[in-house]
Amino acid sequence: MWGKKDKNCDPENAADRQRGSWWDHVILDTSSRLIVTLVVGRRNLGTLESAWTDFDARTDGGLPDLVTTDEYPAYSTALLRTYGVPKAALELSVREKKACDFASRPAVYFPEEINHATVRKERQGGRVVSIEKRIVRGTPEAVATALTRGSTPPTINVSYVERCHGTQRHFNARKARKVYTFSKALAVT
């Protein structure tokens, strides 16, 4: 009847496969605050790939200027698998391959138009004591340009997604924390 925390779940037990933590993976348009994609699932690469594939389909393959995430490494892999182009898929002639030293090129090309930055928050005693911003893909100039194009403050942050999660917790009692209505089940049965 009740779920379990991740640390108490046995991956070999079929009953425990639907128990544990489930996350809302949200991809939103910062200028309109519109949630473009929301996928509920485990915090793993498969769920992130599902979210980015859905986002790609909903935006008709349009490339995002800037992606900001926390430092979970699977984000970078999911972005590469969604938007990366395998070297073998490039249609180059033999002459073009020789001219660009094709053999030494990376196995997957990532579009230069997409910039990826991370935000790392360090906590002590439940409070944020420092925030470190890092550019994973792109250049500081390209990130600054992407930030000035939008209607949002020109800084790398994840505040819009955090606000979305806070609002959802406020309006959905099953997502509230430390209350009697806290839910450990994925769906109401």
Q: What total of structural domains would you count in the chain?
A: 2
| Residues 133 and 75 grouped into a single domain | yes
Residue 1 scores a pLDDT above 60: no
The residue segments making up the domain with residue 126 are 68-157
Q: What is residue 109's three-state secondary structure?
A: strand
Any idea which residue has 């959905």 for tokens?
172
pTM of the predicted model, to two decimals?
Answer: 0.81
Nearest to 69 by CA among 55, 48, 94, 46: 48
Q: Which of 40-54, 98-112, 155-169 has the largest mean confidence?
A: 40-54
Nearest to 135 by CA among 123, 124, 147, 127: 147
**Does residue 162 form part of some domain?**
no
What are the tens digits of pLDDT across the range 59-118?
998 999 899 999 999 999 999 999 999 988 888 888 988 888 888 888 888 898 999 999
Residue 178 scores a pLDDT above 50: yes
**Does residue 48 form part of some domain?**
yes
Per cent of the chain over pLDDT 70 is: 93
**Does residue 18 form part of some domain?**
yes
Q: What is residue 96's three-state secondary structure?
A: helix
**Does residue 54 form part of some domain?**
yes
Q: Which amino acid is at 31?
A: S
| Residues 144 and 76 grouped into a single domain | yes
| Residues 125 and 180 grouped into a single domain | no
| Residues 84 and 153 grouped into a single domain | yes
DSSP-assigned states of every residue in 130-174: EEEEEEEES-HHHHHHHHHHSSS-SS---HHHHHHHHHHHHH-GG
| Residues 78 and 106 grouped into a single domain | yes
Q: What is residue 35's three-state secondary structure?
A: strand
**CA–CA gap between residue 189 and residue 8 (Å, rounded):** 22
| Residues 127 and 73 grouped into a single domain | yes
